[in-house]
Amino acid sequence: MSEDKPDLPDPLDDEDDLGPESAPAELEAEVADSAPESVRRGVAVIKSYWKNAPNGPGVYRMIAANGEVLYVGKAKNVRKRIASYTRLAGHVNRIARMISATASMMFISVETETEALLLETNLIKQMKPRFNVLMRDDKSFPYILIARDHDAPQITKHRGARARKGDYFGPFANAGAVGRALNALQRAFLLRSCTDSFYENRTRPCLLHQIKRCAGPCTGEISIADYSVLVQEAHDFLTGKSRSVREQLAREMTEAAERLEFERAARLRDRISALSLIQGTQGVNPRSVEEADVFAIAKEAGRFCIEAFFFRAFQNWGDRAYFPRADSSLSEEEVLGSFVAQFYGEHPPAPLVLLSHAIEDRDVLAEALSDKLGRKVEVATPQRGEKRELADNALTNAKQTLTRKLTEDASQEKLLAALGAMFGMEKAPRRVEVYDNSHTGGQQAIGAMIVAGPTGFMKTHYRTFNIKGAEITPGDDYAMMREVLRRRFARIAKESDKEEESPDAFPSKPDLVLIDGGRGQFDAARAVAAEIGLEGVTLASIAKGADRNAGRETFFVEEREPFRLPPHDPALYFVQRLRDEAHRFAIGTHRARRKKEFTKNPLDEIAGVGPSRKRALLLAFGTAKAVAGAALCDLEKAPGINKATARLVFDHFQRGE
């Protein structure tokens, strides 16, 4: 049942043709008396810019007094669109707040509405205006790559720009889905996954060949011609010709068995089994939709969830849930349309895009995506058939995911309230920062900060600190903690001097800082806070219990004696989760840094030798040790190495650097 709305023009409607000169003077005078002063001030600013707004397609920006971009919008006719903001009444709260905060505007004219859509998407992504719909997670999707820059193509997982020559298959929803698919594909087609340098330096088959995950082209276990057949079979399978590939393998298995070649027949049987595993674990596989992206949106309690499914080669390659930042007054159609446009700013589209709700700019979006893909892209809201079933399935998943998310957030807010009460805070913290250090005998020391908020762990806000103070004695945990906190608290104090943040945004300043450590770490944190002049932040620390037993932790907080909590207190469990996450993050980062130090190549230390020349040197000499011992004349003869680079490398090792 739809809600009755006043008969007023939508401020986001391209076809609005109400300008200041068209509004009756009596109505203007009547609403002027009731409109808040801030709205009248904002409307006056917008009217002054409206006079010079372009009469055609373009993008406009609404800007606050401090220079913050409040909103980025597009329009088929910018002048008509801006006119809708010059009314003094009839706006929803979101638009009224935006008008009140507007101090200036900027316009960019373009040739077509499609260009306006693309420009709007790019500007939203760059500027992240608070009144726009914003994607919260835009990291790249993983793909499967069959590289074509080698006689024996490699199969591998790929993210990012497609700079390498080869065939890309995807997107997959997550790295786990790619890993499982790659493992099964190696079993089915025996393609190599090793790097080119590893391949070139093999003298005997590796373990993957022994366990029947690679055909062994590096040592001639299979000819390049026969290996190319395997590559083509893998390509056919990933492009939807799975039935023909399986039928061909079944024929070969039968023929091998008839010739009593039972070992070959067994290998073919295992490959067919691996193909069945790939197809059997893909979930809902469409029968008539070869390649499509499906987006469905659910709304509940003012929150939105968008579920995206990816279908390629008649197979479901996974799904991912998004929780865009959007005002609760927006409709599902508005949020979905803005989200999909931003999503394809980074990701290549499928030829078919299915949506659960009809969006306003469907034709413009389809034209923009067609230009990007280089072929026709259809954007549709299906009403019947299998396409409708796919959209309904995505919508069901979106609703279920949003319900789970709301339940988890409600529990998280209760835990934060308990945490605030535990440390004597007046209200529940919105941002909790937890710190821990990790090192090996004082070497490769790092500090780690994890962040928790009303929606759980905020992993995009995690930070690491390379501890490099020359005056720090190796292994001095207190001095390490002081360095980390001094750097972090100084940044907090600096950011506190800026303009106040939007109340809807996740705060950049913590309400609670929790240190993993005892009295010494707590005193170090207090000293640094006093030195920086940090105010409005509660400091606390958690010391491990006797014999390091969980449940017997001691807590330190200002103006209170050290205390413990009952063993089964929910707040205690929550603090343990926070501490364990900080410990996991610190240990993982430290191990990665230590591994990098252990595996560091001497060639990495030569200034002016980049990845391509380093690769050329390794291909020519095999190892860094051989490069270090090479004569200047040999270095100059290496393919891809000029005389200047050869001299640079030779001098580096001759100086013993």
241-280, pLDDT tens digit by residue?
666 676 777 777 887 777 787 777 777 777 776 666 555 4
Does one domain contain both 615 and 585?
no
Query: Is residue 377 located within the same domain as residue 260?
Result: no
Amino acid at site 278 = I
- Among 270-274, 428-432, 539-543, 555-559, the range scoring the smallest mean pLDDT is 270-274
Distances from the Cα of 557 to the Cαs of 420, 515, 523, 595, in angstroms?
Answer: 12, 10, 10, 37
pLDDT at residue number 378: 93
Which residues, listed in sequence order, are joined to residue 94 by a DSSP beta bridge? none
CATH of the domain at 49: 3.40.1440.10
Share of the chain above pLDDT 90, in %: 26
Q: How far apart are CA 339 and CA 128, in angstroms?
A: 13
Could you tell me which residues come within 8 angstroms of residue 275 by beta carbon, excluding any fewer than 6 positions away? 184, 188, 237, 242, 245, 246, 249
Helix axes 385-422, 570-598, angle to 10 degrees: 110
Q: Which residues contact 155 (CB under 8 A, 6 or more apart)?
A: 144, 145, 146, 147, 182, 185, 186, 189, 191, 192, 193, 234
Mean predicted confidence (pLDDT) in 387-392: 92
Q: Using the predicted structure, report yes or no on whether residue 499 has a pLDDT greater than 60.
A: no
Instruction: Please report the pLDDT score of residue 546 as a whole number.
Output: 58
Tens of pLDDT, residue by residue over 159-168, are 887 888 998 8
* pLDDT 10s digits, 350-389: 899 999 999 988 999 999 999 988 889 999 999 999 999 9
pLDDT of residue 352: 93
Residue 20 lies in a domain: no
Regarding whether 203 and 65 lie in a shared domain, the answer is no
- Which pLDDT value is given to residue 550? 59
Tell whether 136 is covered by a domain.
no
Shared domain check, 312 and 352: yes
- The tens digit of pLDDT for each residue in 116-165 reads 998 998 899 888 898 999 887 656 788 889 998 899 999 999 888 788 89
165 lies in a domain? yes
One DSSP character per residue, 478-531 reads HHHHHHHHHHHHHHHHHHHTSPPPPTTSPPSS-SEEEEES-HHHHHHHHHHHHH
260 in the Ramachandran plot: left (φ > 0), alpha (ψ -120 to 50) or beta? left
Whether 206 has a pLDDT exceeding 50, the answer reads yes
Domain-embedded: residue 287: no
Query: What is the CATH classification number for the domain harbouring 343?
Result: 3.30.420
Pick from 240, 333, 257: which is nearest to 292 by CA? 240
Most distant pair of Cα atoms in the chain: their distance: 98
Long-range contacts of 550-555 (CB under 8 A, 24+ apart): 550/576, 554/518, 555/422, 555/423
Q: How many CA atoms lie within 13 A of 379 on its CB side?
A: 21
Sequence-distant (≥ 6) Cβ neighbours of residue 58 within 8 angstroms:
74, 75, 78, 107, 108, 109, 110, 116
The residue among 435 and 182 whose pLDDT is bigger is 435
Examine residue 266 and state whether it is found in any structural domain, yes or no.
yes
428 lies in the same domain as 370 = no
Structure tokens at 402: 């949003």
Do residue 78 and residue 157 come from a single domain? Answer: no
pLDDT of residue 294: 94
Rounded to whole angstroms, how far apart are CA atoms 432 and 478? Answer: 21
The predicted-structure confidence for 3-24, as pLDDT tens digits, reads as follows: 433 333 343 344 444 444 444 4
Instruction: In whole angstroms, give the CA distance from residue 50 to residue 48.
Output: 6
Q: How far apart, in whole angstroms, are the C-alpha atoms of residue 27 and residue 379? A: 42
Question: Helix (H, G, I), strand (E, B), or coil: what is residue 118?
Answer: helix
Residue type, 38: S
In a domain, 202, yes or no: yes
- The band of 452, judged by pLDDT with boundaries at 50, 70 and 90, is very high
Q: What is the mean pLDDT of residues 25-50?
A: 72
Q: Are residues 475 and 461 in the same domain?
A: yes
Q: What is the pLDDT of residue 469?
A: 65
187 with 70, same domain?
no
> Which one is predicted more confidently, 334 or 475?
334
Domain membership of residue 2 (yes or no) is no
Give yes or no: residues 211 and 109 share one domain. no
Instruction: Please give the backbone phi and psi of residue 631, each rounded to the nearest 5 degrees, phi first.
Output: -75, 160
Domain range holding 324?
292-404
Tell me which of 224, 258, 280 is where a domain ends. Answer: 280
Q: Sign of the C-alpha dihedral, residues 209, 217, 241, 162?
A: positive
Given this model, what pLDDT does residue 7 score? Answer: 38
- 98 in the same domain as 209: no
Q: Note whether 238 and 169 are within 8 A (CB).
A: yes
| Angstrom distance (rounded) from CA 267 to CA 260 | 13
Residue 623's domain is classified under what CATH number? Answer: 1.10.150.20
Per-chain mean pLDDT for the chain: 82
CB-based burial, 401-412: b 16+ in 10 Å, e otherwise: bbeebeeebeeb
pLDDT at 14: 40
Per residue in 606-645, pLDDT (tens digit) is 777 777 788 888 777 777 778 888 888 888 888 888 888 8
Domain presence at residue 416: no
Query: What local confidence, expressed as pLDDT, does residue 242 receive?
Result: 61
Number of domains in the chain: 5
Q: How many helices and strands, by DSSP H and E, does the chain display?
A: 21, 18
Q: Are residues 271 and 317 in the same domain?
A: no
Same domain, 474 and 593: yes
pLDDT of residue 328: 86
Strand partners, 433: 451, 513
Query: What are 516's strand-pairing partners?
Result: 542
Which pLDDT score is estimated for 241? 66
654 token code pair? 């001759």
What are the tokens at 656?
A: 């013993």
Q: Which of 337, 370, 404 is the last residue of a domain?
A: 404
Model confidence, pTM:
0.66
pLDDT computed for residue 456 by the predictor: 87
Q: Which two tokens stand for residue 159?
A: 């993210």
- The pLDDT assigned to 340 comes to 93
Across 463-490, b (16+ Cβ under 10 Å) vs e yields bbbebeeeebeeebbbbbbbbbbbebbe
Domain closes at, from 280, 300, 329:
280
CATH of the domain at 538: 3.30.420.340
Most trustworthy range by pLDDT among 5-9, 78-82, 613-617, 651-655 = 78-82
